[in-house]
Structure 1
């Protein structure tokens, strides 16, 4: 584990300024604190971080190196703390075709990261032990968002902890990351969250859409779009005895 606090170290930052946006909280179901810019997203969940850098090649680089440095600054240039996530203290992988997911082995490590994000001004996500930056985020509003995140996680309100997985058609497939997907309708059409989707055992709420993104002529077999609370999108098809889901760049066929 590599985490430390630094007194007054001044960095030479390769990017001129942090991404201009504010932190928000989504929950309590599927609780997460997040910040979105034009080309990057950083999301804090109950036990993991998801980071979508500006380019897919950056995501590949982070996973290939199995390392991501969290560098905390009290202003735009003075680093006051850091945490180096790597194979010794976290699982680093690409999920849902793009974002890098960092799962911390020890809650104390993740608590340190959350504490530093909540109390500082800027977060620099960079290559481990090098001044090569993947993304810089302002931390304006992060304290309130993380406070809400912790309250939701501690109360057990996150949907992944409380919602039972659906039972029905099971869909399997994927590329480098294999997934098992199920869904179920749980409310009346018109309710905001009238479905749930489970991917590899993790369940999120979703809303249904029976139009194909406004297209009056949907593809053959299209039944419904499931729009996840975590901004995921699943397209459900059934045609001539074949059942499948399209999610990201992959097709998932019925496997039960």
Structure 2
């Protein structure tokens, strides 16, 4: 839920001060804009935010509550807008053992958040139901980093928001690390990227390769190869009423 708040609304004294660090944009293997301090990190990706607070207990709290208040600050004290993350507009989960990942259901919501981050001086990430701050980040330099992120993501931000929930064929399997994988071929390619590959909820742009094996005869049932922006290779197969794909060293079978 988006909301605008009067410029006169001032936070109570004694809140944490913004993290003093620089915003950085990284184009590959996964496009992201981030700011990092000694004990916390805020990372923006295509269609999602990853936030690593100072303590793991904060990550658990955010996931348990399935919510986060993103409060945009004109200066160190004046709140000018906010976005309330909740179950109705996003998926909140802990990934890679620590960071909280927020995947937005609606591209317009994420666009609003990015625009506010680029336009304001700092952002306060706080508890959804109490005035408790998990972290405050300085937004100086965020505008340029977010502009680069939007350019790199292209249509992927909008597409990623639409493909969070599994649709169509979903593949499951793996070794020690279990994965759920799906893909979508885009109606409108984003440059050379004409597909999106989703692995455990994380979306990566990919290009299709129907002649992946060149002059060598393709294996029986081969449909298409998906060459990910992160340099991953996914081979899709369909034969005899069975659907599966090969990702890394494992085979993943249709599971829906």
Q: Distance in 1 between matches of 2:89 and 2:156?
A: 24
Q: Contact 1:2–1:85 (CA<8 Å) still a contact in 2?
A: no
In the TM superposition, what is the alpha-carbon distance from 1:146 to its structure 2 partner?
Answer: 0.4
In the TM superposition, what is the alpha-carbon distance from 1:204 to its structure 2 partner?
Answer: 6.9
Partner SS for 1:8: coil
The match for 1:100 is: 100
Instruction: Kindly tell me the number of residue pairs found equivalent between the two proteins.
Output: 183
Q: Contact 1:173–1:179 (CA<8 Å) still a contact in 2?
A: no
1:118-168 C-alpha deviation (Å, 9 max, x unpaired):
0100100000142100000000110000000011111669xx9xxxxxxxx
In the TM superposition, what is the alpha-carbon distance from 1:22 to its structure 2 partner?
Answer: 1.1
Residues 204, 151 of structure 1: alpha-carbon distance in 2 compared, 3 angstrom cutoff: closer
Q: Contact 1:74–1:120 (CA<8 Å) still a contact in 2?
A: yes
Q: What root-mean-square deviation, in Å, do the aligned CA atoms of Structure 1 and Structure 2 show?
A: 3.0
The match for 1:57 is: 57
Q: Does 1:30 align with 2:30?
A: yes
* Length-normalised TM-score, structure 2: 0.63
Q: Does 1:48 align with 2:43?
A: no
In the TM superposition, what is the alpha-carbon distance from 1:202 to its structure 2 partner?
Answer: 4.9
Q: Does 1:6 align with 2:6?
A: yes
Q: Distance in 2 between matches of 1:88 and 1:69?
A: 14
Q: Distance in 2 between matches of 1:63 and 1:179?
A: 20
Q: Contact 1:14–1:133 (CA<8 Å) still a contact in 2?
A: no
1:29-50 C-alpha deviation (Å, 9 max, x unpaired):
4111100100101100110000
Q: Contact 2:47–2:156 (CA<8 Å) still a contact in 1?
A: no
Q: Distance in 2 between matches of 1:82 and 1:201?
A: 25
Partner SS for 1:9: coil
Q: Distance in 1 between matches of 2:201 and 2:56?
A: 26
Residues 147, 31 of structure 1: alpha-carbon distance in 2 compared, 3 angstrom cutoff: same
